[in-house]
Chain A
Amino acid sequence: MKFINKNTIKLDKEINDLDKFVLRFIKILEKHADYVIVSGYVAILLGRDRGTDDIDVIIPKLSKEKLELLYKDLAKQGFWCINSSDLEDLYEILISKHSIRFAVEPKVSPNVEIKFSKDIYDQIALKNPITMEINGNELKTSFLELQIAYKEEVLKSNKDLEDARHLRLIAQGYLNENLINDYKKELKSKR
């Protein structure tokens, strides 16, 4: 694992089945929308020894027409949305700040959980992603300081605190501790 600069991490890892699933999905998504991967999969990609069956992805708010193009492209390549096949329903779910999930048909898991950007932190994550270079593939994830602050200050479950600890340890010397503390203070004041 090489921390090339504050926007790039290079990994020479063996690709697992979860990575293959994510790369397959993202290859389609990125044709239609900007995106950033957040939460558990970021820690897993950087070596955390746990599994997950859902990958959290934030995208900017799309028009209904753009969502339809994305939906059709995903469907053409074997994915289905497990919430509904009705685009009106899906758009309604997304604009009401909930998520929709796509899996490989006819399975429900693993799945990618997509949300529209809903607050300033989602916007910051989208605007300042880390590019993970993985054996010739690229994935955009949230930057680690925001991930750590959010897990330690907002989510706080054992799993999230363990993810944050893992990220802190593997990224020693790369993290901006002041930035983590600033985000934690901000997040605390908004709760």
Chain B
Amino acid sequence: MKNRFNPEEIRKINNEDRMWFVEYWAEYVRTHSDKEWSRQQNVLINSIMKNAKNSKLTPKEYLRIKGELYD
């Protein structure tokens, strides 16, 4: 019997969903003015920037997360 919660299957479906959205959004970008798509894109990007700027990470902590702490 097929496992309903097969992680591989869930990952595959998730990837397909993500790619569907990429294609949907690219079509939107292609068929709308720069002003229109960027206005929507900027809601997401400005929110991510706000969170990034509020980060309390120290340089050392940040670089460790990125795997770039060489000492």
A positions within 8 Å CB-CB of B: 1, 11-14, 16-18, 21, 44, 46-53, 82-83, 93, 98-99, 101, 107-110, 158, 161-162, 165-166, 169-170, 172
Partner of B59, one of A21, A44, A82, A158: A82
Q: Are B25 and A108 in contact (CB under 8 A)?
A: no
Q: Are B63 and A51 in contact (CB under 8 A)?
A: no
What residue of chain A has the Cβ atom nearest to residue B38's Cβ?
A: A13
Q: How far is the CA of A107 from the CA of B50 in the complex (A)?
A: 12
Q: Which residues of A contact B25 (CB under 8 A)?
A: 47-49, 166
Interface residue range, chain B: 35 or more
Q: Determine whether B4 belongs to the interface, using a CB cutoff of 8 Å to chain A.
A: no
Q: Are A14 and B49 in contact (CB under 8 A)?
A: no
Chain A nearest Cβ from B19, distance in angstroms: 6
- Using A14-B39, A82-B62, A98-B70 as known contacts, say yes or no to A170 and B26 having CB atoms under 8 A apart: yes
Q: Which residues of B contact A17 (CB under 8 A)?
A: 45-46, 49-50
Q: Determine whether B55 belongs to the interface, using a CB cutoff of 8 Å to chain A.
A: yes
Q: How far is the CA of A105 from the CA of B52 in the complex (A)?
A: 13
Q: How far is the CA of A2 from the CA of B71 in the complex (A)?
A: 47
Partner of B41, one of A16, A82, A101, A108: A16
